[in-house]
Amino acid sequence: MHLSAPAIILSMRQHGEHGAIVRALTPDDGVQPGYVRGGRSRALRPVLQPGNLVQGNWRARTDAQLPALTIELTHSRAPLFAEPLPAAAIAWLTTLTVSTLPEAQPYPRLHAGLAAALDAIEAAPVARRWATLVARYELLLLAELGFGLALDACVATGVTDDLAWVSPRSGGAVSRAAAYGHEPRLLPLPAFLRDGGEAPDWPALFAALAITRHFLDRDLLRDRAADLLAARDRLGGLLARAAA
Protein backbone atom coordinates (compact mmCIF):
# COMPACT_ATOMS: atom_id res chain seq x y z
CA MET A 1 0.00 0.00 0.00
CA HIS A 2 1.36 3.39 -1.00
CA LEU A 3 -0.71 6.55 -0.86
CA SER A 4 0.48 10.10 -1.36
CA ALA A 5 -2.15 12.81 -0.85
CA PRO A 6 -2.85 16.21 0.64
CA ALA A 7 -4.70 15.89 3.93
CA ILE A 8 -6.17 17.68 6.93
CA ILE A 9 -4.86 16.46 10.27
CA LEU A 10 -7.76 15.23 12.43
CA SER A 11 -6.12 13.65 15.45
CA MET A 12 -2.83 12.64 16.99
CA ARG A 13 -2.46 9.98 19.69
CA GLN A 14 0.83 9.17 21.37
CA HIS A 15 2.11 5.67 20.70
CA GLY A 16 5.13 4.14 22.36
CA GLU A 17 7.96 6.26 23.68
CA HIS A 18 8.45 8.50 20.67
CA GLY A 19 5.84 7.84 18.02
CA ALA A 20 2.27 8.91 17.30
CA ILE A 21 -0.74 7.49 15.49
CA VAL A 22 -2.19 10.18 13.27
CA ARG A 23 -5.48 10.24 11.41
CA ALA A 24 -5.94 12.64 8.52
CA LEU A 25 -8.72 13.33 6.03
CA THR A 26 -7.74 13.09 2.36
CA PRO A 27 -9.88 14.35 -0.55
CA ASP A 28 -10.29 11.01 -2.35
CA ASP A 29 -9.36 8.29 0.14
CA GLY A 30 -11.17 9.44 3.27
CA VAL A 31 -9.73 9.12 6.75
CA GLN A 32 -6.31 7.50 6.68
CA PRO A 33 -4.41 6.38 9.82
CA GLY A 34 -0.65 6.14 10.01
CA TYR A 35 2.23 5.78 12.41
CA VAL A 36 4.55 8.80 12.53
CA ARG A 37 8.00 7.96 13.81
CA GLY A 38 9.17 10.65 16.22
CA GLY A 39 5.67 12.15 16.29
CA ARG A 40 6.08 13.20 19.93
CA SER A 41 9.21 15.21 19.22
CA ARG A 42 9.35 18.96 19.67
CA ALA A 43 9.80 19.39 15.92
CA LEU A 44 6.80 17.28 14.86
CA ARG A 45 4.20 18.07 17.52
CA PRO A 46 3.28 21.45 15.95
CA VAL A 47 3.08 19.81 12.52
CA LEU A 48 0.60 17.22 13.79
CA GLN A 49 -1.78 19.82 15.21
CA PRO A 50 -5.41 19.09 14.21
CA GLY A 51 -6.53 21.40 11.44
CA ASN A 52 -3.12 21.67 9.79
CA LEU A 53 -2.78 20.99 6.08
CA VAL A 54 -0.11 18.46 5.14
CA GLN A 55 1.17 16.32 2.31
CA GLY A 56 1.12 12.77 3.61
CA ASN A 57 2.83 9.61 2.37
CA TRP A 58 1.46 6.32 3.71
CA ARG A 59 3.37 3.08 3.13
CA ALA A 60 2.61 -0.45 4.34
CA ARG A 61 3.64 -3.92 3.18
CA THR A 62 0.16 -5.41 3.68
CA ASP A 63 -3.36 -4.07 3.98
CA ALA A 64 -3.56 -5.36 7.56
CA GLN A 65 -0.51 -3.35 8.67
CA LEU A 66 -0.75 0.15 10.11
CA PRO A 67 1.01 2.26 7.49
CA ALA A 68 4.12 4.25 8.24
CA LEU A 69 3.31 7.89 7.63
CA THR A 70 5.66 10.70 6.73
CA ILE A 71 4.31 14.21 6.67
CA GLU A 72 5.29 17.52 5.11
CA LEU A 73 3.55 20.58 6.50
CA THR A 74 1.93 22.74 3.82
CA HIS A 75 -0.07 25.13 6.00
CA SER A 76 -0.11 25.56 9.78
CA ARG A 77 -3.11 26.68 11.80
CA ALA A 78 -1.25 26.28 15.09
CA PRO A 79 -1.36 30.07 15.83
CA LEU A 80 -5.17 29.88 16.00
CA PHE A 81 -4.93 27.71 19.09
CA ALA A 82 -3.78 30.76 21.04
CA GLU A 83 -7.37 32.08 20.80
CA PRO A 84 -10.06 30.13 22.74
CA LEU A 85 -12.89 30.51 20.21
CA PRO A 86 -11.05 29.43 17.02
CA ALA A 87 -9.29 26.71 19.00
CA ALA A 88 -12.61 25.32 20.25
CA ALA A 89 -14.08 25.39 16.74
CA ILE A 90 -11.15 23.56 15.14
CA ALA A 91 -11.03 21.01 17.97
CA TRP A 92 -14.76 20.30 17.60
CA LEU A 93 -14.78 19.98 13.82
CA THR A 94 -11.77 17.67 13.67
CA THR A 95 -12.95 15.57 16.63
CA LEU A 96 -16.44 15.22 15.16
CA THR A 97 -15.01 14.16 11.81
CA VAL A 98 -12.54 11.58 13.09
CA SER A 99 -15.12 10.16 15.51
CA THR A 100 -17.88 9.58 12.96
CA LEU A 101 -16.30 8.79 9.59
CA PRO A 102 -15.26 5.23 8.75
CA GLU A 103 -11.67 4.88 7.63
CA ALA A 104 -10.65 4.63 3.97
CA GLN A 105 -14.06 5.63 2.62
CA PRO A 106 -14.07 8.60 0.22
CA TYR A 107 -16.00 11.67 1.29
CA PRO A 108 -14.83 14.41 -1.08
CA ARG A 109 -17.72 16.73 -0.18
CA LEU A 110 -16.88 16.48 3.50
CA HIS A 111 -13.22 17.17 2.81
CA ALA A 112 -14.21 20.28 0.85
CA GLY A 113 -16.69 21.34 3.53
CA LEU A 114 -14.20 20.89 6.36
CA ALA A 115 -11.51 22.77 4.44
CA ALA A 116 -13.93 25.64 3.79
CA ALA A 117 -14.95 25.84 7.44
CA LEU A 118 -11.33 25.83 8.63
CA ASP A 119 -10.39 28.46 6.06
CA ALA A 120 -13.26 30.65 7.27
CA ILE A 121 -12.24 30.28 10.91
CA GLU A 122 -8.76 31.40 9.95
CA ALA A 123 -9.82 34.27 7.68
CA ALA A 124 -13.00 35.74 9.16
CA PRO A 125 -12.56 38.22 12.01
CA VAL A 126 -16.24 37.86 13.01
CA ALA A 127 -17.18 34.51 14.56
CA ARG A 128 -20.78 34.83 13.35
CA ARG A 129 -19.57 34.39 9.77
CA TRP A 130 -17.57 31.23 10.22
CA ALA A 131 -20.00 29.71 12.72
CA THR A 132 -22.47 29.55 9.85
CA LEU A 133 -20.12 27.12 8.11
CA VAL A 134 -19.86 25.03 11.28
CA ALA A 135 -23.64 24.51 11.18
CA ARG A 136 -23.56 23.77 7.45
CA TYR A 137 -20.72 21.27 7.89
CA GLU A 138 -22.61 19.44 10.62
CA LEU A 139 -25.68 19.31 8.36
CA LEU A 140 -23.55 17.97 5.49
CA LEU A 141 -21.95 15.35 7.74
CA LEU A 142 -25.38 14.08 8.76
CA ALA A 143 -26.44 13.87 5.12
CA GLU A 144 -23.27 12.12 3.93
CA LEU A 145 -23.65 9.47 6.62
CA GLY A 146 -27.27 8.77 5.78
CA PHE A 147 -29.07 10.97 8.29
CA GLY A 148 -29.90 13.96 6.11
CA LEU A 149 -32.67 16.34 7.06
CA ALA A 150 -35.54 16.98 4.63
CA LEU A 151 -35.85 20.76 4.66
CA ASP A 152 -37.31 21.40 1.21
CA ALA A 153 -40.97 20.58 1.90
CA CYS A 154 -43.36 20.26 4.83
CA VAL A 155 -43.33 16.73 6.16
CA ALA A 156 -47.02 16.99 7.06
CA THR A 157 -48.54 18.70 4.00
CA GLY A 158 -45.90 18.70 1.27
CA VAL A 159 -46.02 22.48 0.78
CA THR A 160 -42.70 24.15 0.01
CA ASP A 161 -43.30 27.66 1.34
CA ASP A 162 -43.49 29.18 4.82
CA LEU A 163 -41.35 26.42 6.33
CA ALA A 164 -40.59 27.57 9.86
CA TRP A 165 -39.95 24.48 11.99
CA VAL A 166 -38.19 21.09 12.03
CA SER A 167 -39.65 17.95 13.53
CA PRO A 168 -37.16 16.55 16.07
CA ARG A 169 -38.49 13.06 15.32
CA SER A 170 -38.54 12.91 11.52
CA GLY A 171 -35.95 15.55 10.65
CA GLY A 172 -38.44 17.04 8.20
CA ALA A 173 -39.43 20.67 7.81
CA VAL A 174 -42.86 21.77 9.02
CA SER A 175 -44.81 24.73 7.66
CA ARG A 176 -46.09 27.44 9.95
CA ALA A 177 -49.69 26.39 9.32
CA ALA A 178 -49.07 22.70 9.96
CA ALA A 179 -47.14 23.50 13.13
CA TYR A 180 -49.93 25.57 14.66
CA GLY A 181 -50.50 24.46 18.26
CA HIS A 182 -47.46 22.15 18.24
CA GLU A 183 -44.68 24.75 18.22
CA PRO A 184 -43.26 23.85 21.68
CA ARG A 185 -42.48 20.35 20.38
CA LEU A 186 -40.64 21.56 17.29
CA LEU A 187 -37.25 23.12 16.51
CA PRO A 188 -37.23 26.59 14.89
CA LEU A 189 -35.91 26.44 11.31
CA PRO A 190 -33.83 29.48 10.32
CA ALA A 191 -34.25 30.43 6.67
CA PHE A 192 -30.51 30.45 5.90
CA LEU A 193 -30.17 26.76 6.72
CA ARG A 194 -32.67 25.98 4.00
CA ASP A 195 -32.09 28.76 1.46
CA GLY A 196 -28.46 29.82 1.93
CA GLY A 197 -27.61 33.49 1.62
CA GLU A 198 -25.69 35.89 3.81
CA ALA A 199 -24.48 35.16 7.32
CA PRO A 200 -27.53 35.11 9.63
CA ASP A 201 -28.03 37.00 12.85
CA TRP A 202 -27.09 35.32 16.12
CA PRO A 203 -30.58 33.98 16.99
CA ALA A 204 -30.84 32.26 13.60
CA LEU A 205 -27.34 30.85 13.97
CA PHE A 206 -28.05 29.42 17.41
CA ALA A 207 -31.31 27.93 16.10
CA ALA A 208 -29.35 26.16 13.35
CA LEU A 209 -26.76 24.87 15.81
CA ALA A 210 -29.56 23.57 18.04
CA ILE A 211 -30.98 21.58 15.12
CA THR A 212 -27.69 19.99 14.12
CA ARG A 213 -26.75 19.26 17.74
CA HIS A 214 -30.02 17.42 18.30
CA PHE A 215 -29.57 15.15 15.29
CA LEU A 216 -25.86 14.59 15.84
CA ASP A 217 -26.64 13.46 19.37
CA ARG A 218 -29.53 11.23 18.31
CA ASP A 219 -28.22 9.68 15.10
CA LEU A 220 -24.42 9.71 15.08
CA LEU A 221 -22.79 10.13 18.48
CA ARG A 222 -24.98 7.81 20.57
CA ASP A 223 -22.84 6.13 23.27
CA ARG A 224 -20.04 8.66 22.69
CA ALA A 225 -22.36 11.66 22.97
CA ALA A 226 -21.42 12.79 26.48
CA ASP A 227 -17.70 13.11 25.78
CA LEU A 228 -18.00 14.50 22.26
CA LEU A 229 -20.82 16.93 22.94
CA ALA A 230 -18.82 18.45 25.79
CA ALA A 231 -16.53 19.88 23.10
CA ARG A 232 -19.55 21.07 21.10
CA ASP A 233 -21.09 22.70 24.17
CA ARG A 234 -17.83 24.43 25.00
CA LEU A 235 -17.86 25.94 21.52
CA GLY A 236 -21.50 26.95 21.97
CA GLY A 237 -20.69 28.68 25.24
CA LEU A 238 -17.85 30.66 23.66
CA LEU A 239 -20.10 31.67 20.75
CA ALA A 240 -22.73 32.85 23.23
CA ARG A 241 -20.13 35.06 24.88
CA ALA A 242 -19.15 36.47 21.49
CA ALA A 243 -22.80 37.24 20.78
CA ALA A 244 -23.37 39.00 24.09
DSSP category for residue 103: B
β-pairing, 150-154 vs 68-75, is unpaired
- In eight-state DSSP terms, residue 12 is E
Helix 127-144 to helix 108-123 angle, to the nearest 10 degrees?
170
Question: Which class is 79-243 in CATH?
Answer: mainly alpha
Strand residues in the chain grouped as ranges (E): 2-15, 19-26, 30-36, 53-59, 68-75, 150-154, 163-166, 172-175, 187-188
* Local confidence pLDDT in tens for the 244 residues of the chain: 899 999 999 999 988 778 999 999 999 999 999 999 998 888 899 999 999 999 999 999 887 889 999 999 999 999 999 999 999 999 999 999 999 999 999 999 999 999 999 999 999 877 988 999 999 999 999 999 999 999 999 999 999 999 999 999 999 999 999 999 999 999 999 999 988 877 789 999 999 999 999 999 999 987 777 788 999 999 999 999 999 8
Instruction: Give me the residue spans of the domains in the chain.
Output: 2-76, 79-243
- pTM attached to this predicted model: 0.94
Please state the CATH superfamily assignment of the domain spanning residues 2-76 in this structure.
Answer: Nucleic acid-binding proteins (2.40.50.140)
